[in-house]
């Protein structure tokens, strides 16, 4: 016998009975907690005839009918058997037939936490549900299943006739009923509580009360786990392929493995198939995706299809394995049959594919990486034979635990091999040691001292095949030594400002590096160089290792930060001056090619989560012309927002220099929500580069690249959208024109 306890009255509110849910399309309940339950009478409990069945219960009263040989518990009845429980207004046990019946606001909770609500329920002696009427089954993962009648068949499944299922909430924030945006109705539903599978017969999908799609063979998982079955079809239209219909099948191979098979059918192209296999184990996970079709293609920079059909496709696989707390392995393989396949079928819009692997060991003081990468050129005008293969790339770093002369010492060893089928090959190895000491002076200045030494060894051949002379270096073995010292001083000044605080931080840095044999060394990883706020105070403003900024220079700047109620403002501004007049390595237009550099800065404005504004700029040191103007701004919240991105590079660089072309671009995106769940969204990308900025282009300064406009619906259980997109640039198979796409996503159902 359970001890007396205070329990809430149970049951469905009158307006939310399961019968009403089926009638109006609702599938859910709201439980209201209330008054305490009276304690059992001890003498009645002592004579409890159900005790032999190992069912403990509580009730306000207990009655025994000698003539009918029945025992009836009434008033806030709670019965328990193991992890299951039943609450009802009354529970009657017929001792002759063994029938146990619960009536009146019945709530059954099974071993998995699922809840069943009904008006009348027949029970087994282990509190298993039998026949029931006007019932609602609320699953722990959020789904709800309602039916007029239900019973347990010989196989132990619960069979529901004329049932409805949904994962939508059926009450609003005020607790009032609301229609679900979707539900699945079925002639018959089978629920297996052991496997947690729900199988439908004669099922149809209803959206906003209208029957829209038959769902033959639909199977769901009550516990939220995936289940094998047919996926929701997807439809669309594109200028390249015409109308598209895709259909898939999801196959749950095991708890840790699955396979998805897809078929794509087009009116303007031959069909395509794809497969995705995924597996998770104790050490990691991996997936393999493949696409394939057999069709004609148009080579890049051509408008004429090939004379005969050929096999076209794409293979993508990636994975990660954590072998132990320190060692891990990651890798990816991405290969396309040709340069235009991925763009034509809108699988990805990337202009190159990279395959990588990386073996890493990380602990508190050291890092080891053994990696490599290969790149496949797609939409860039480069011969694939000249694209480099980096294998292997080894990098080891060690941080000494004990300070040396009051500073921290870090060591690094690195080696890299670059190979091309046609072009320059380069091998590199270096070792480096760096010492850093940071101190705070009595006046509050932050002083950082740095000393760095490095020794390099390079070997290269076929150097003349590299088009840019400054990248070639000298063939054969070349050695280089690098030594750098630096002093960096910051002085944060804190004070009150407009009801908040502000911090003004002047900063000065002095860096000295003896003349270095830069041009004798091939340049593979330090080609794209541009002065920005992010690298203004870097020890080496080249991005990679192959070029080292030598000479003596002083860099100075100012950082400002203000924190006001709801606001955060930041700004930085700076310039550098090279004390030596030795010819610089930096190409014209980078802002670093003369003794005085250009001015660079960044400003950021943030107001709560409503305004996010960042402006980066570079000003010409001679006439303050804007050489770089970059704006990223977001206004609004998650429901209503506008995003603006603008970039203009007016560096006046040599048009033949392959890594520093000037350009101007505008990006705009936004979303407006209306009628609570509906929204309109759109985006556009426009090339604003004109011939004055890049004489090699034919653009007149306003060339739309891509626009998108759509309408979407999103609530707690349904997301759907209709999107129109127009591409203005034709790339071989990928034609310019309009594309349309319809997307569905339903909670608890594996629709894409």
Contact 190, 209 (CB under 8 A): no
| Structure tokens that stand for 661 in this block | 């072309």
Q: Does the pLDDT of residue 640 top 60, yes or no?
A: yes
Give per-residue pLDDT as tens, 538-581: 999 998 999 999 999 999 999 999 999 999 999 999 999 998 87
The dihedrals phi and psi of 470, each to the nearest 5 degrees, come to -70, -10
Band (pLDDT 50/70/90 cuts) for residue 50 is very low
- Reduced to 3 states (helix: H, G, I; strand: E, B; else coil), residue 708 is strand
| Structure tokens that stand for 118 in this block | 């009904």
CA distance 217 to 121: 29
Buried b (16+ CB within 10 A) or exposed e, 288-310: bbebebebebbebeeeeeeeeee
Instruction: Spell out the residues 6+ positions from residue 407 whose beta carbon is closer than 8 angstroms to its own.
Output: 435, 436, 437, 438, 449
According to the per-residue pLDDT averaged within each range, which of 288-292, 344-348, 588-592 is highest?
288-292
Q: What is the pLDDT of residue 1?
A: 32
Percent of the chain with pLDDT over 70: 87
Of 456, 452, 448, residue with least CA distance to 434: 452
Q: What is the pLDDT of residue 146?
A: 87
Instruction: Spell out the residues 6+ positions from residue 694 whose beta carbon is closer than 8 angstroms to its own.
Output: 655, 661, 662, 663
Q: Does the pLDDT of residue 173 top 90, yes or no?
A: no
Range from 496-510, 550-564, 702-716 carrying the lowest mean pLDDT:
702-716
> Average of pLDDT values for 336-365?
92
Burial of 104 per CB tally in 10 Å (0-12, 13-18, 19+): middle
Contact 248, 259 (CB under 8 A): no
Band (pLDDT 50/70/90 cuts) for residue 650 is confident
Contact 617, 595 (CB under 8 A): no
Percent of the chain with pLDDT over 90: 51
The dihedrals phi and psi of 383, each to the nearest 5 degrees, come to -65, 130
Predicted model pTM: 0.79
CA 112 to each of CA 82, 147, 405, 679: distance values in angstroms, whole numbers, following the listed order:
12, 21, 63, 38
Q: What is the pLDDT of residue 129?
A: 65
CA distance 185 to 208: 13
The dihedrals phi and psi of 308, each to the nearest 5 degrees, come to -135, 160
Place of tokens 């032999």: 52
The number of helix segments (H) and strand segments (E) in the chain equals 4, 42
CA distance 299 to 307: 11
CA distance 324 to 24: 55
CA distance 143 to 140: 7
CA 262 to each of CA 59, 292, 550: distance values in angstroms, whole numbers, following the listed order:
56, 11, 57
State whether the Cα torsion 303-307-308-312 is positive or negative: negative
> Average of pLDDT values for 518-526?
93
> Average of pLDDT values for 718-739?
84
Note the CATH number of domain 56-232. 2.60.450
CA atoms within 13 A on the CB side of 123: 33
Burial of 236 per CB tally in 10 Å (0-12, 13-18, 19+): buried
CA distance 541 to 551: 13
Higher per-residue pLDDT: 43 or 224: 224
Instruction: Round the average pLDDT of the chain to a whole number and report it.
Output: 85
Contact 582, 558 (CB under 8 A): no
- Reduced to 3 states (helix: H, G, I; strand: E, B; else coil), residue 325 is coil
Determine what percent of the chain falls in helix, strand and coil, rounding each to the nearest 5: 5, 55, 40
Place of tokens 């990660």: 320
Q: What is the pLDDT of residue 28?
A: 27
Q: Does the pLDDT of residue 367 top 90, yes or no?
A: yes
Q: What is the pLDDT of residue 397?
A: 97
CA distance 411 to 249: 53
Ordered DSSP codes for 199-229:
EEES-EEEETTEEEEE-TT-EEETTS----E
CA distance 396 to 412: 6
Vertex 642: Cα angle to 638 and 646 (nearest 5): 130
40 membership: H or E segment, kind and range: none
Of 271, 272, 384, 273, residue with least CA distance to 338: 384
> Average of pLDDT values for 21-35?
28
CA distance 550 to 545: 13
Q: What is the pLDDT of residue 489?
A: 98
Higher per-residue pLDDT: 31 or 354: 354
Contact 29, 42 (CB under 8 A): no
> Average of pLDDT values for 497-523?
94
């Amino acid at each position: 016998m359970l001890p007396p306890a205070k329990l809430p009255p149970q049951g469905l509110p009158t307006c939310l009975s399961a019968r009403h849910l089926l009638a109006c399309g609702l599938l859910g309940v709201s439980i209201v907690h209330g008054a305490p339950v009276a304690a059992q009478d001890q003498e009645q409990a002592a004579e409890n005839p159900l005790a032999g069945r190992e069912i403990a219960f509580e009730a306000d009263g207990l009655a025994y009918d000698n003539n009918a040989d029945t025992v009836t518990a009434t008033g806030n009845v709670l019965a328990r058997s193991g992890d299951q429980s039943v609450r009802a207004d009354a529970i009657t046990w017929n001792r002759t037939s063994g029938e146990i019946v619960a009536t009146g606001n019945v709530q059954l909770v099974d071993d998995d936490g699922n809840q069943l609500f009904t008006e009348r329920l027949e029970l087994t002696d282990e509190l298993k549900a039998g026949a029931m009427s006007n019932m609602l089954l609320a699953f722990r993962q959020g789904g709800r299943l309602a039916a007029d009648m239900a019973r347990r068949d010989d196989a132990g499944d619960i069979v529901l006739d004329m049932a409805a299922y949904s994962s939508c909430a059926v009450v609003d924030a005020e607790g009032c009923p609301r229609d679900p945006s979707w539900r699945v109705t079925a002639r018959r539903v089978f629920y297996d509580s052991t496997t947690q599978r729900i199988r439908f017969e004669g099922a149809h999908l209803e959206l906003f009360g209208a029957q829209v799609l038959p769902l033959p063979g639909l199977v769901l998982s009550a516990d939220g786990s995936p289940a094998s079955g047919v996926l929701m079809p997807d439809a669309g239209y594109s200028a390249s392929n015409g109308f598209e219909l895709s259909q898939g099948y999801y196959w749950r191979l095991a708890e840790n493995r699955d396979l998805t098979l897809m078929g794509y059918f087009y009116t303007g192209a031959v069909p395509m198939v794809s497969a995705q296999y995924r597996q998770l184990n104790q050490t990691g996970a991996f997936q393999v995706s493949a696409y394939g079709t057999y069709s004609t293609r148009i080579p890049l920079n051509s408008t004429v299809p090939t004379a005969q059909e050929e096999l076209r496709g794409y293979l993508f696989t990636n994975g990660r394995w954590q072998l132990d707390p320190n060692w891990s392995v990651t890798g990816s393989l991405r290969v396309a049959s040709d340069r235009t396949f991925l763009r034509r079928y809108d699988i990805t819009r990337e202009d190159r594919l990279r395959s990588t692997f990386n073996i890493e060991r990380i602990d508190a003081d050291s890092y080891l990486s053994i990696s490599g990468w290969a790149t496949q050129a797609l939409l860039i005008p480069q011969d694939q034979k000249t694209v480099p293969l980096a294998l292997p790339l080894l990098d080891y770093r060690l941080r000494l635990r004990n300070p040396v002369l009051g500073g921290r010492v870090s060591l690094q060893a690195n080696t890299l091999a670059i190979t091309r089928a046609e072009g320059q090959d380069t091998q590199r190895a270096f070792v480096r040691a760096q010492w850093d000491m940071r101190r705070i002076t009595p006046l509050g200045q932050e002083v950082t001292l740095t000393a760095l030494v490095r020794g390099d060894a390079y070997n290269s051949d076929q150097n003349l095949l590299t088009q840019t002379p400054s990248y070639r270096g000298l063939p054969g073995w070349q050695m280089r030594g690098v030594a750098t010292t630096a002093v960096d001083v910051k002085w944060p000044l804190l004070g009150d400002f407009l009801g908040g605080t502000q911090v003004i931080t002047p900063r000065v840095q002095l860096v000295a590096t003896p003349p270095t044999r830069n041009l004798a060394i091939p340049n593979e990883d330090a080609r794209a160089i541009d002065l920005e706020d992010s690298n203004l105070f870097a020890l080496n403003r080249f991005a990679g290792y192959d070029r080292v900024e030598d000479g003596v220079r002083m860099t100075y700047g100012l950082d400002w930060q203000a924190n006001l109620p709801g606001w955060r403002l930041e700004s930085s501004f700076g310039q550098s001056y090279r004390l030596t007049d030795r010819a610089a390595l930096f190409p014209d237009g980078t802002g670093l090619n003369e003794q005085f550099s250009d001015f660079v800065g960044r400003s950021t404005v943030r107001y709560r989560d409503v305004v996010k504004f960042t402006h980066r700029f570079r000003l010409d040191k001679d006439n303050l012309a804007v050489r770089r103007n970059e704006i990223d701004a977001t206004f609004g919240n998650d429901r209503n927002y506008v995003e603006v991105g603008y970039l203009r590079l007016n560096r006046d660089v040599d048009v033949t220099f392959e890594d520093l072309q000037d350009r101007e671009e505008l990006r705009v995106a936004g979303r407006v929500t209306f009628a609570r769940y509906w929204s309109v969204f759109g985006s556009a990308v426009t090339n604003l580069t004109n011939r004055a900025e890049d004489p090699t282009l034919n653009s007149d300064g306003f060339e739309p690249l891509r626009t998108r406009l759509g309408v979407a619906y999103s609530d707690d259980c349904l997301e759907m959208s209709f999107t129109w997109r127009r591409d203005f640039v034709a790339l071989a198979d990928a034609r310019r024109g309009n594309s349309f796409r319809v997307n569905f996503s339903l909670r608890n159902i594996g629709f894409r």
